[in-house]
Chain A
Amino acid sequence: MSTVAAPRTRDEFLEGLWKQNPVFVMVLGMCPTLAVTVSAVNAISMGLATTFVLVASCGLVSSMRRLVPREVRIATYIVIIATFVTAVDYAIQALSLALYDALGAFIQLIVVNCIILGRAEAHASRNPPVTAMVNAAGMGAGFTLGLVLLGAVREILGAGTLFGIALFGAGFQPWVVMLLPPGGFFVLGGWLLAFSWWARRRERREPASHA
């Protein structure tokens, strides 16, 4: 676990992005996933904000892993995570108020995102900083990927645009329900189906190719 060779690093990254994708495989962090993915821009911003918090807090948790007594580790992790979330919150307010209003309370709620505390406790607290941060970056990328896949589909179907650019002519009647909460569940269900189908197909093929 503690040797950091190049293929090992790549595996750590790919684990979060694909094999252990937080949205489609572990089905974690569903609250922001369903709530902010009404547009691709919102989804990507939320994903990047979460990734930053994830990488920064995992790096810090990992470098402090021998200094923090076990009894207070969860409290320490939460304080560290909350600090980075607050910094991100101010940064987004400084960058764009429109984005800040669109993401609403979900920026602050990154604090209680189970992906982050889960990574800090399950991975960062028992691995060296570089491994922990690579793993966290993979998880963050996986979360961002999940959000963007959801946000893009919902925006295309629900508003006829992608990243705010109109895709269809004026005759397009938007499928508004996709922007409403039920649409989040429909699209999430569709992607979960697609992912498990891919995973199964790979499972069936892999033994054949190795033999």
Chain B
Amino acid sequence: MNESPPAPSAPAPASTRDLVLTLGVVAAVCGLVIVGAYQLSLDAVTANRRAALERSVFTVIPAATSLAEFVALPGGGVAPATPGEVPPGALRFFAAYDAAGNLAGIAAEGVAKGYADSVRVLFGYQPGCQCITGLGVVSHRETPGIGDRIVTDKAFLANFRALDARLNAELSALASEIRTVKHGTKKNAWQIDAISGATITSRAVGKAVNDSAQALLPRLAPELEKVRKKP
């Protein structure tokens, strides 16, 4: 602060014009640098995001080789997703296709409050059996060694090999709500056996899957033909 410079930096206060000019020039140059950095990295960042998305969808739907993004509109109907914001009330989902271009499964994200923060999951849905056949965790901040076992625990992930997600007769909701039950008490195909000691996180996963399936599947069921073939 108490600079006693050998350099000829002016000890007299600078004029307002100089101050404005300095800040203006610095801000303008920095702005240009930021735009340049953004433009240079944009392609790589977009490709990275796409690759990460494909990787997680292909994990929950192993048969898939390509995917398309759709939105289920609030008034019913399904439309290809446009880049940018999802329209209000619409639900985003991914249709995954095998090498022949046939539907290999539907993937959708769900989110629920876990122990520390939101737990985001991606699940794979098979219209054929009306069941959930894969689960991946997109992001979480659960306790290492406890809650984060939802990512690795084989017994827990086995719940999502054929988790019942049939719709009721009116196609308005799931026939039976997907629920996480206490470790060791799973009786039905729509129940998830919690990890012992990580019940709160297990419940969050169940709630995330249930909420998302309850909202998406009734809208998707009448429109399934639209996503059958690769667009």
A-side interface residues toward B, CB under 8 Å? 2, 38, 65-72, 75-76, 79-80, 82-83, 86-87, 90-91, 93-98, 101, 125-126, 158-159, 174, 176, 179-180
Contact B22 A67 (CB under 8 A): yes
Knowing A86-B37, A90-B45, A91-B41 are in contact, say whether A66-B8 is a contact too (CB < 8 A): yes
| Contact residues in A for B49 (Cβ distance below 8 Å) | 97
Partner of A65, one of B9, B30, B33, B143: B9
| Contact residues in A for B143 (Cβ distance below 8 Å) | 176, 180
Q: Which of B169-204 contact A (CB under 8 A)?
A: none
Contact bitstring B43-75, A, C-beta under 8 A = 1, else 0: 011001100100000000000000000000000
A85 vs B18: C-alpha distance when bound (angstroms): 26
Chain B min CB distance to A105 (Å): 12
* Other 13 A-B pairs with CB < 8 A, given A76-B23, A176-B143: A2-B6, A67-B22, A69-B10, A69-B18, A70-B14, A71-B19, A72-B19, A80-B30, A86-B37, A87-B37, A90-B38, A90-B41, A94-B45
Contact B33 A76 (CB under 8 A): no
* A128 to B, closest residue via Cβ: B7
Q: 20 pairs across A/B with beta carbons < 8 Å?
A: A65-B9, A66-B8, A66-B9, A67-B22, A69-B10, A69-B14, A69-B22, A71-B19, A72-B19, A72-B23, A76-B22, A76-B23, A83-B30, A83-B33, A87-B37, A90-B40, A93-B41, A94-B48, A95-B44, A97-B48
Contact B22 A79 (CB under 8 A): no
Chain B min CB distance to A146 (Å): 22
Contact B27 A79 (CB under 8 A): yes
Q: How many residues of B contact A (CB 8 A)?
A: 32
| Contact residues in A for B83 (Cβ distance below 8 Å) | none
Chain B min CB distance to A140 (Å): 20
Contact A71 B30 (CB under 8 A): no
A69 vs B3: C-alpha distance when bound (angstroms): 13
Q: Report if B84 contacts A (CB, 8 A).
A: no
Contact B8 A176 (CB under 8 A): no
Q: Report if B155 contacts A (CB, 8 A).
A: no
| Contact residues in B for A96 (Cβ distance below 8 Å) | 48
Contact B26 A80 (CB under 8 A): yes
Contact B5 A76 (CB under 8 A): no
Q: Report if B88 contacts A (CB, 8 A).
A: no
A68 vs B14: C-alpha distance when bound (angstroms): 10
A83 vs B35: C-alpha distance when bound (angstroms): 10
A70 vs B9: C-alpha distance when bound (angstroms): 9
Chain A min CB distance to B7 (Å): 6
| Contact residues in B for A66 (Cβ distance below 8 Å) | 7-9
Contact B45 A93 (CB under 8 A): yes
- Of B7, B8, B44, B145, the most chain A CB neighbours within 10 A belong to B145
Partner of A82, one of B14, B30, B139, B146: B30
Contact bitstring B196-226, A, C-beta under 8 A = 1, else 0: 0000000000000000000000000000000
| Contact residues in B for A176 (Cβ distance below 8 Å) | 143-146
Partner of B26, one of A76, A95, A159, A180: A76
* A175 to B, closest residue via Cβ: B145
Chain B min CB distance to A128 (Å): 10
Chain B min CB distance to A108 (Å): 13
Contact bitstring B128-143, A, C-beta under 8 A = 1, else 0: 0000000000010001
A98 vs B7: C-alpha distance when bound (angstroms): 47
| Contact residues in B for A86 (Cβ distance below 8 Å) | 34, 37
Partner of B145, one of A72, A75, A93, A174: A174
